[in-house]
């Protein structure tokens, strides 16, 4: 072969292609990974480190706010600088809250009351706001909301009305949009993060898929000024509940979305349909259905690898997790989990590992399972306090 016949740029590209796998492997093998997760029925924040082979709990912090009842921590998310994190507290009298913590010490530094059972949450890329869905798990089946919290002041800046039982809050990488799904309405909801306003919804029901500007027509009355004023006069949270509102026909609910995950570039949104065990892919620019991907039984939470190549899904009724190729939609692997009721998932910044939480059943402990996304196998499992739920990636450190 005559090397001189090949352009210099081609030689550089070839050399880079050969070098990349070595660099990625060396980075993974020389790093320690840190995650934090919450255990809902144990009122614990748990910090775990993982060295590529072994995982261990290095800290536990109590979240209990009321001595007479568990707090029910559900969601967790970090500020972009990794110096703070936020936890949604589901239980209260009757409203839940969000608490801000110092990432190194786990010391609480702020708290704000929100709606009924605050659940999934995400922080804007600027670090300015936290988007928390008010899941309203124990309340009436009426439209709920997304709370927007000022991350510095810990004040609720807005409460945006959406639909019934919102879950799975995620913000796009550019910070322009926030997505969630409403379980009892089969709706994907898009919020303009800069205007703090609901702008589009998409009906996910199989055979009845449709995109809307704003809410579907049948929901308009639920959020009218008259309805909100009447609710406020009755002493309820006007933006989160509308007295006497009627939901859609439950026989038409085929999806029951529990998570809405934008792609890395924000051009797609992947929605977990817990009821039908499918993942629905939506074109975020055209606001149209792209495809339905068959998932595991009871697909629940989703995460996209930072390199944009893989989608990892937890299968709540499985019990298992699924790894999908995003280009083809093919399921590459479905590793079984140690225990039942699989919950959350987060992927390391190098796209190498997926960290899975499992609630467990009855008196069982919770579980953290770590998947190697290169080999598509389980590396290790770690017992945690009961009902391991929300999980967030904290940091990577050199050994």
pLDDT digits (tens, 9 = 90+) for 360-374: 999 999 999 999 999
Q: Which range is least confidently modeled, 225-234, 243-252, 294-303, 315-324?
A: 225-234
Q: What is the pLDDT of residue 42?
A: 96
Residue 40, number of CB atoms within 10 A of its CB: 24
Q: Which range is least confidently modeled, 6-15, 47-56, 57-66?
A: 6-15
Cα 259 to Cα 170: distance, rounded to the nearest angstrom: 8
Q: What is the pLDDT of residue 143?
A: 93
Cα 234 to Cα 183: distance, rounded to the nearest angstrom: 26
Q: Which range is least confidently modeled, 11-25, 180-194, 306-320?
A: 11-25
Cα–Cα distance list, 174 to 27, 177, 264 (Å)? 26, 8, 9
Cα 107 to Cα 103: distance, rounded to the nearest angstrom: 8
Strand order in 388-398's β-sheet?
Answer: 55-62, 44-50, 31-39, 388-398
Cα 315 to Cα 359: distance, rounded to the nearest angstrom: 12
Between these two residues, 303 and 14, which has the higher pLDDT value? Answer: 303
Cα 180 to Cα 178: distance, rounded to the nearest angstrom: 7
Mean pLDDT of 309-331: 97
Residue 95: pLDDT above 60? Answer: yes
| Token couple for 42 | 């144990």
Q: What is the pLDDT of residue 240?
A: 35
Q: Which DSSP symbol is given to 256?
A: -
Q: Could you tell me the pTM of the whole model?
A: 0.87
Domain range annotation of the chain? 29-240+251-398
Q: Which DSSP symbol is given to 359?
A: -
Mean pLDDT of 317-344: 98
Distance of alpha carbon 20 from its chain centroid, rounded? 30
Q: Which range is least confidently modeled, 14-23, 256-265, 266-275?
A: 14-23
Residue 26: pLDDT above 80? Answer: no
Buried b (16+ CB within 10 A) or exposed e, 283-312: ebeebebbebbebbebbbbbbbbbeeebbb
Q: Is the dihedral of CA 260, 307, 383, 61 positive or negative?
A: negative
Residue 263: pLDDT above 60? Answer: yes
Q: What is the pLDDT of residue 369?
A: 98
Q: Which range is least confidently modeled, 70-74, 180-184, 220-224, 237-241?
A: 237-241
Given the structure tokens 């995400």, which residue do they identify?
122
Q: Where are the alpha helices (DSSP H) in 183-302?
A: 225-233
Cα–Cα distance list, 335 to 35, 47, 236 (Å)? 21, 24, 45
Given the structure tokens 């009426």, which residue do they identify?
142
Residue 30: pLDDT above 50? Answer: yes
> Is 156 within 8 Å of 163 (Cβ atoms)?
no
Q: What is the pLDDT of residue 218?
A: 80
Cα 352 to Cα 372: distance, rounded to the nearest angstrom: 6
Domain with residues 29-240+251-398, CATH architecture:
7 Propeller (2.130)
Q: What is the dihedral of CA 62, 63, 68, 69, to 10 degrees?
A: -120
Given the structure tokens 């979305």, which residue do they identify?
257
Q: What is the dihedral of CA 135, 144, 243, 201, to 10 degrees?
A: -140
For 324, residues 6+ apart whose C-beta sits below 8 A from its C-beta are: 279, 293, 310, 311, 312, 313, 330, 331, 332
With CA atoms as reference, report the closest residue to 121 among 171, 68, 80, 189.
Answer: 171
User: What number of residues does the chain have?
Assistant: 399
> Is 201 within 8 Å of 163 (Cβ atoms)?
yes
Q: Which helix (H) or strand (E) holds 112?
A: strand 108-113
Q: What is the average pLDDT value for the chain, to the nearest integer?
A: 88
Torsion region of 196: left, alpha or beta (phi above 0 gives left; psi -120 to 50 gives alpha): left
Given the structure tokens 């989160």, which residue do they identify?
240
Provide φ and ψ at 250, rounded to 5°: -65, -20
Cα 114 to Cα 150: distance, rounded to the nearest angstrom: 12
């Amino acid at each position: 072969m005559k090397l001189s016949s090949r352009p210099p740029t081609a030689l550089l590209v070839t050399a880079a292609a050969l070098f990349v796998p070595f660099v990625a492997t060396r980075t993974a093998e020389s790093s320690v990974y840190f995650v934090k997760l919450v255990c809902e029925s144990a009122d614990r924040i748990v910090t775990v480190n993982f060295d590529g082979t072994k995982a261990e709990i290095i800290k536990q912090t109590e979240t209990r706010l009321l001595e007479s009842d568990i707090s029910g921590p559900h969601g967790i998310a970090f500020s972009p600088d990794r110096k703070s994190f936020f936890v949604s507290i589901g239980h209260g009298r009757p409203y839940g809250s969000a608490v801000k913590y110092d990432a190194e010490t786990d010391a609480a530094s702020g708290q704000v009351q929100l709606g009924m059972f605050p659940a999934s949450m995400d922080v804007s890329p600027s670090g300015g706001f936290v988007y928390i869905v008010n899941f309203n798990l124990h309340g009436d089946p009426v439209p709920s909301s997304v709370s927007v919290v000022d991350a510095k002041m810990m004040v609720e800046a807005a409460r945006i009305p959406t639909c019934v039982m919102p879950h799975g809050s995620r913000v796009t990488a550019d910070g322009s949009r926030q997505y969630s799904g409403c379980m009892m309405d089969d709706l994907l909801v898009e919020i303009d993060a800069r205007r703090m306003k609901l702008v589009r919804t998409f009906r996910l029901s199989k055979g009845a898929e449709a995109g809307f500007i704003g809410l579907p027509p049948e929901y308009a009355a639920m959020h009218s000024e008259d309805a909100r004023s009447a609710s406020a006069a009755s002493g309820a949270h006007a933006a989160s509940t509308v007295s006497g509102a009627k939901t859609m026909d439950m026989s038409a609910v085929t999806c029951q979305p529990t998570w809405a995950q934008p792609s890395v570039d924000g051009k797609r949104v992947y929605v977990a349909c817990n009821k039908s065990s499918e993942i629905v892919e939506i074109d975020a620019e055209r606001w149209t259905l792209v495809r339905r991907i068959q998932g595991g039984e009871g697909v629940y939470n989703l995460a996209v690898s930072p390199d944009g190549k893989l989608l990892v899904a937890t299968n709540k009724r499985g019990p298992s997790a699924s790894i999908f190729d995003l280009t083809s939609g093919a399921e590459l692997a479905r590793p079984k989990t140690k225990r039942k009721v699989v919950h959350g998932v987060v992927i390391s910044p190098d796209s190498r590992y997926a960290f899975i939480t499992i609630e467990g059943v009855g008196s069982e402990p919770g579980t953290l399972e770590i998947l190697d996304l290169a080999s598509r196998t389980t590396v290790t499992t770690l017992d945690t306090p009961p009902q391991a739920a929300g999980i967030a990636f904290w940091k990577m450190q050199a050994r």
